[in-house]
Amino acid sequence: MNFNTFKLILFFCFLPLMGWAQDCTLDVGGENFNAITEIFQLNTEQKATMETLRGELLVTNKAFEDEIQKLFDQHPQSTEEDLITLANKYKVLQQKMVDASWETDKILLSTFNPKQYQLYLDLCMEALRKPIKIIPVSYKDSIAPE
């Protein structure tokens, strides 16, 4: 087998994985949310939006975490069927948390200007992640031309 054939086989082995790339998230609800402000150089309005979204996401996630704890505390776990049912219910709650985070990121991204969004796309590509699609906002300059 020559080297080109080997490369071709490798390419087709990894091709399906490219379609399953993880979403490229900002992690507004995470501990390093301040990095978003620095990396994307958010303006005052964007910072306020992020703080509001972060607060709402933390409240939402707390409710899901409480539901998960209640599920673990109260759901029967004595049989294999009980454990499978518990796992399925847990996966649903976990996915709701992921969806809430994704929606939060999408709302914040929708405030990005074209340069900020392009930086986001570049970082996603570098990390081999699937970007969240939005249409960037075109801001008008507040300083009148001379």
Give pLDDT tens digits for 29-69.
988 889 999 999 999 999 999 999 999 999 999 999 999 99
Q: Which two tokens stand for residue 52?
A: 């509001």
Q: At what angle do helices 80-109 and 44-74 cross, to 10 degrees?
A: 170
pLDDT of 15 higher than 50: no
DSSP 23: B
pLDDT score recorded for residue 138: 81
pLDDT band at 2 (very low <50, low <70, confident <90, very high): low
pLDDT score recorded for residue 33: 87
Q: What is the residue-averaged pLDDT of the chain?
A: 87
Q: Which two tokens stand for residue 20?
A: 């399953």
**Exposure on the CB side of residue 120, measured as CA atoms within 13 A:** 30
CA angle 143, 139, 115 (to 5 degrees): 110
Residues 93 and 67: beta-carbon distance below 8 Å:
yes
pLDDT of 134 higher than 90: yes
d(CA 22, CA 128): 8
Task: Kindly list the domain boundaries of the chain, sorted by start residue.
Answer: 24-30+42-136
Average pLDDT of 65-83?
A: 95
Average pLDDT of 82-110?
A: 96
Least confident of 13-22, 38-47, 136-145: 13-22
DSSP-assigned beta bridge partners for residue 130: 23
Cβ burial, residue 104 (10 Å; 0-12/13-18/19+): buried
pTM of the predicted model as reported, rounded to 2 decimal places: 0.77
pLDDT of 1 higher than 70: no
